[in-house]
A = this chain, B = another copy of it.
Amino acid sequence: MADVARAAGVSSATVSYVLSGKRPVAPETRAAVEEAIAELSFTVNVTARSLRTGRSSLVALIVPDIVNPFYAQLAATLQEELRERGLHVVVCNTRARRDEEQTLLAEAVQQRFAGVIITPFRLKPRDFAPIVDAGIPVVVSADVSFGPMDLVTPDARAATRRALEQVAAAQRRRIAMIAGPRDATGGDPRLEHLRALALQLGMALPHDMVVRGEHTREAGAAGFAELMSRRHRPDALFCGNDVIAVGAMEKAHELGFDIPGDVALIGHDDASFASLVRPRLTTIRYPAAEVARAAAQLLTERLDGRKVHKTVRVKAEFVARASV
């Protein structure tokens, strides 16, 4: 920048102001500076800028499983949205482990990230105290609140209700669920949600019709095998997400159960493979791209100075395919 200033016959402050536009610069001065910049193919040193201003251009995206297409899509859209505003996305995969979630959060503080967008899995609300105290804007994408931070959360009421209605219309009454692990934060709100709505519709989701496991195909397979070995088998099976659901579906094929003949299967998220499996998976779609846009919006508002925290609800949608 000193070189540019010398070449243009101005001070380095002027070069800085030409770049940032934070104060008016005479047209001919600006022209001279821009020419010098082009001539020397100068680019600002972002590190020096960060050091001086105290804010970096890095945003951490912390998710349980980047290989899950839902999160991959989230990352892709987020990256696109934030790049327009000069921000970069650092992807952090926690593999749903609490220690990694904690480490990553701590590292975001240490690295002075500009912001964090996170889907917590086993974190507790109090784990967020250090990062909030550090003044780093945090957007949580989750079913429940984790404290005084921006939140993007699904509105799945209508979609879940429609799913249950369709199940009921098919004369299915024995509802079951393969939920997330018991020690996940909130103990899987999707389960509580489903149970409450089922009750409203005069159906029940008894505790012995719920099995739990990680958000993996293996857990889905194991859960399916367990539920179908019960004396009273379910005839409609909800899953915590689509990864679990396809695990269950694979197990169904293996054990010779027909879907939806023997049991209907309903997933969550509409991950890209949901429409590829056979039968096509009926699911409660949570639009990753929209979630990403909402999160990007909330984050930039915060960076622009908004003080109070906000919650954005993103509508989930029932996608009827062949598995019900």
The chain A residues found within 8 Å of chain B, CB to CB, are 43-48, 50-51, 56-58, 65-67, 69, 72-73, 75-76, 79-80, 88-93, 109-112, 246, 250, 272-273, 276-278
Bound Cα distance from A277 to B280, whole angstroms: 10
Contacts of A69 in B (CB 8 A): 67, 69, 72
Copies, count: 2
Contact of A56 (CB < 8 Å), options: B47, B80, B92, B93: B47
Contacting pair A79 B92 (CB below 8 A): yes
Contacts of A277 in B (CB 8 A): 276-278
Bound Cα distance from A17 to B59, whole angstroms: 30
Bound Cα distance from A57 to B110, whole angstroms: 13
Contacting pair B50 A47 (CB below 8 A): yes
Residue of B nearest to A272 (CB): B67
Contacts of A57 in B (CB 8 A): 111
Residue of B nearest to A88 (CB): B90
Bound Cα distance from A16 to B50, whole angstroms: 21
Smallest Cβ distance from A3 to chain B, in angstroms? 16
Bound Cα distance from A77 to B90, whole angstroms: 14
Bound Cα distance from A43 to B75, whole angstroms: 28
Contacting pair B46 A110 (CB below 8 A): yes
Contacting pair A93 B112 (CB below 8 A): no
Contacting pair A79 B51 (CB below 8 A): no
Smallest Cβ distance from A113 to chain B, in angstroms? 10
Bound Cα distance from A80 to B58, whole angstroms: 18
Contacting pair B45 A48 (CB below 8 A): no
Smallest Cβ distance from A259 to chain B, in angstroms? 12
Apart from A79-B91, A89-B90, list 7 A-B contacts with CB within 8 A: A58-B58, A65-B76, A66-B72, A66-B76, A67-B272, A89-B91, A246-B276
Contacting pair A48 B46 (CB below 8 A): no
Bound Cα distance from A93 to B45, whole angstroms: 23
Contacting pair A66 B56 (CB below 8 A): no
Bound Cα distance from A90 to B47, whole angstroms: 15
Contacting pair B80 A93 (CB below 8 A): yes
Bound Cα distance from A76 to B48, whole angstroms: 30
